[in-house]
Amino acid sequence: MIIGVVIGNVWATKKEDVLNGRKLMVVQRIDAASNELKDSFVAVDCVGAGIGEQVLVVTGSSARMALSNPEIPVDAAIVGILDQVEIPGLQN
């Protein structure tokens, strides 16, 4: 799983039919230990996340399972909106 922050939306008027009605978000990965922002990617939103929210993202076959469709062409899915990340011994 990946911790990230939603930084934007993606709109695509032409896409695979199975993606119709699905919200696509741009997520920037966060290094949980250093709070450093890393690479960004597109993920399908399963939980109604908004821009600026910290989220939990699954990738690969787990993303397809989150969407209940093993055939959907998706590599990342937002499956949770985080309230807090706590790592004992580190100050964030």
Report the predicted TM-score, pTM, of the whole model to 2 decimal places.
0.90
What whole-number percentage of the chain has pLDDT above 70? Answer: 97
Structural contact between residues 56 and 2, judged by C-beta atoms closer than 8 angstroms: yes
Cβ-based neighbours of 14, under 8 Å, separated by 6 or more: none
Per-domain boundaries in the chain: 2-13+20-81
Q: Determine the CATH number of domain 2-13+20-81.
A: 2.40.50.220
pLDDT (tens digit per residue) in 53-69: 999 999 999 999 898 88
- pLDDT (tens digit per residue) in 11-56: 998 989 989 889 999 999 999 888 898 999 999 999 999 999 999 9
Alpha helices in 1-92 (DSSP H): 61-66
